[in-house]
Structure 1
Amino acid sequence: MKVDILASGSSGNCIALTSGKNTILIDAGIPKTKIDKKLVEVGIQPMNVRAIFITHAHGDHIKGLPLANKYRIPVYAGEEEWKSIQGVDEELKHHIKKCKSVDLESIGFYIQPFKTHHDAFEPLGYVIQDFDGDKCSIALDTGHVDDEMISAMEYSTIYIMESNHEPKMLENSNYPPSVKARVLGHVGHLSNEQTAEALSKLINGVGEQIYLTHLSSSNNMPMLAQMTVMRALAKKGLKAEKDYKLEVI
């Protein structure tokens, strides 16, 4: 499975997963013209995008959804989350009910949604498997990681997780108190430590690929996010490049 993270962060999120000649997108949070351009830059023809899966309906995850109408791409989202999604042609809408799996056998993907914890109607993470045996778990925008999320994501070959902020940096920032409370809350965003703790439960040292995403530009630093995860995994005796690979987006 080829992973291309086209955009990450509060300005927009979009991940392309390709198996064979078929691609699916997880979120479409940048303008459709930029998605078009970035797909071509990584060698993907936009007409080969077969489905779009939405984690939740905040603007930085759905801004580019008009792309679906342009190329007639089916869009999948939690049933309740469709309350916040507009502008998608009716025949392209697919409602995911009670985290029911989505079998796209004809294009080589099997998708299992799982519940996340964010201030949206029905936020979801996704576990995507292809016919080559790769398993990619994606958990963005979530205030915490519970046992059910760990169970859904375990034994993946690829992990794409947010590592949004460093709490001390956030607390000392110029953000209004209400925004600080939201980010730090139970349905906010993961801190570096929370992400590291989750990954320490998931990584077995068999060459897994980790991508840290959705870093705050003002309340985090790539090296800090990276070192926090590496330190947690080192406690398990795991070393980067030898037992797993780590990239900060």
Structure 2
Amino acid sequence: MDILTIGSGSSGNSYKMSDGETAILLEAGIKFQKVQQALKFKTRQIKGVLVTHEHGDHAKYVVDYLLNGLNVYMTAGTKKSLNIEHHRLFTVEYKSAFKIGSLTILPFETQHDVAEPCGYLIKSDNGSKLLFATDTYYIKYKVPGITHMLLEVNHDYDYMMENVKNGHLHQGLANRIMKSHLNLENAIKYLQSSDLSQLKEIHLIHLSNSNSKANEFKEKIQAITGVPVKIAGR
């Protein structure tokens, strides 16, 4: 699978993935014009856009994507929260697989402070299998045979508490982050308990600017998994 980061983090998220036959976008938090530029204006190759939840950094530009001819997929709860109706907007359900070209996509429940958030397990007809999990403080599903991961590792608990202690971060915001985003410690626990026998690479996404250290995160995850680890957007 080929993965391209167009944007990652609280300022906006969008990722392109392709198995060589079918290309899709993950999230709609980046302006469509920037997506066009990143794809060298070949947006017709995109066969669908998967959205995880309604927060602006993931869904702000859904309408623009729809008006530019892209099919968009999200849960009913996310659709209701965004209050959008369009003939190219499709709803998905947890654990109910659907097809986009050569890709079989399985939405799954995530843990976030929104209506009906989800992650996506994406399997290609060529046997590749991608786990996309973001904006969740916990992943409760273990999936065998994953070959690629787009995995949020938002913060390190100790770094964040140090920022609270130094007055750089309000305790209330820290509490909210802990209950809505995956930290390094929980990401490591998830990886250690998962089947990594087929894993080829991990893309770490949605890192906090102030509560993470990208190089340290990369080194720790690489040491545990033994596969190349990339920091999204770097």
Matched, 1:135 2:132: no
Provide the rounded CA distance (Å) in 2 between the counterparts of 1:38 and 1:67.
16
Superposed displacement of residue 21, structure 1: 4.6
CA deviations 1:55-92 (Å, max 9, x no partner) are 11100001222342233211111111112224x55201
CA deviations 1:29-56 (Å, max 9, x no partner) are 111111111122xxx7111111111011
After the TM superposition, which segments of 4 or more aligned residues of structure 1 sit over 3 Å from their partners?
Answer: none
Superposed displacement of residue 221, structure 1: 0.9
Matched, 1:119 2:109: no
In structure 1, the residue matched to 2:175 is 181
Matched, 1:70 2:67: yes
In structure 1, the residue matched to 2:154 is 164
Cα 1:121–1:47 shift into 2, 3 Å? same
Aligned residues: CA RMSD: 1.8
TM-score, normalization by structure 2: 0.90
Query: Are 1:22 and 1:50, in contact at CA under 8 Å, matched by a contact in 2?
Result: yes
In structure 1, the residue matched to 2:211 is 219
Matched, 1:46 2:51: no
In structure 2, the residue matched to 1:97 is 93
Matched, 1:247 2:230: yes
Task: Give SS of 2:35's match.
Answer: helix
Query: Are 1:53 and 1:75, in contact at CA under 8 Å, matched by a contact in 2?
Result: yes
Task: Give SS of 1:73's match.
Answer: coil
Aligned residue type for 2:229: L
Query: Are 2:75 and 2:118, in contact at CA under 8 Å, matched by a contact in 1?
Result: yes
Task: Give SS of 2:215's match.
Answer: helix
In structure 1, the residue matched to 2:33 is 33
Q: Where does the alignment leave 5 or more consecutive residues of structure 2 unmatched?
A: none
Query: Are 1:139 and 1:160, in contact at CA under 8 Å, matched by a contact in 2?
Result: yes
Query: Are 2:153 and 2:206, in contact at CA under 8 Å, matched by a contact in 1?
Result: yes
Superposed displacement of residue 98, structure 1: 3.8
TM-score, normalization by structure 1: 0.85
Matches within 5 A, 1:75-86: 75-86=72-83
Provide the rounded CA distance (Å) in 2 between the counterparts of 1:77 and 1:108.
19
In structure 2, the residue matched to 1:2 is 2
In structure 1, the residue matched to 2:200 is 208
Provide the rounded CA distance (Å) in 2 between the counterparts of 1:207 and 1:90.
37
Aligned residue type for 1:136: L
Aligned residue type for 1:11: S
Query: Are 1:13 and 1:60, in contact at CA under 8 Å, matched by a contact in 2?
Result: yes
Structure 1 vs Structure 2: percent identity of aligned residues?
25
Task: Give SS of 2:39's match.
Answer: helix
Cα 1:131–1:205 shift into 2, 3 Å? closer
Query: Are 1:21 and 1:48, in contact at CA under 8 Å, matched by a contact in 2?
Result: no
Task: Give SS of 1:55's match.
Answer: coil
Query: Are 2:148 and 2:199, in contact at CA under 8 Å, matched by a contact in 1?
Result: no
Task: Give SS of 1:172's match.
Answer: helix
Provide the rounded CA distance (Å) in 2 between the counterparts of 1:98 and 1:220.
31
